[in-house]
Amino acid sequence: MFSILLVLLIIVSVFMTGLILLQKSEGSGISGSSASSMLGGMLTGAAAGNFLTRLTAWLAVIFFILCAALALVASNMNNAAQQSDLRNEIVTQEVADAPMSEAPSTETPAEPVKTETK
């Protein structure tokens, strides 16, 4: 689960970085005058800017959700490992602290003293 979320986070990060670099800044970017040539005349400059802004916002929301999910999964994995270690330590202490039951004696019991009765 952690690996899947991490891969998704990396993919979203790369796409979001690309979109941010494509946006208009000081007269350049895809939303500028070259929008019609880059997108095949599909979008005008303003429409491309709005589309990129909205898409960047959605990717940012997905990015933060993935970050929160990764933090939650990582903390649960860490807690589970700590609980497992704690259980093992408790069991080890209980075994060590348990009173040793008396082992049966290997000595043969003494024979009772015979008294002579007359």
45-52 own/partner pairs: CB under 8 Å, 24+ apart: 49/23, 49/24, 52/19, 52/22, 52/23
105 part of a folded domain? no
84 part of a folded domain? no
In the DSSP assignment, the letter for residue 29 is S
Q: What are the tens digits of pLDDT across the range 64-107? A: 999 999 999 888 876 766 667 667 777 777 777 766 555 556 66
pLDDT at 114: 73
40 part of a folded domain? yes
Total of domains in the chain:
1
Mean pLDDT, rounded, for 31-55: 64
Neighbours of 30 (CB within 10 A): 20
pTM for this entry: 0.52
Mean pLDDT, rounded, for 33-60: 70
1 part of a folded domain? no
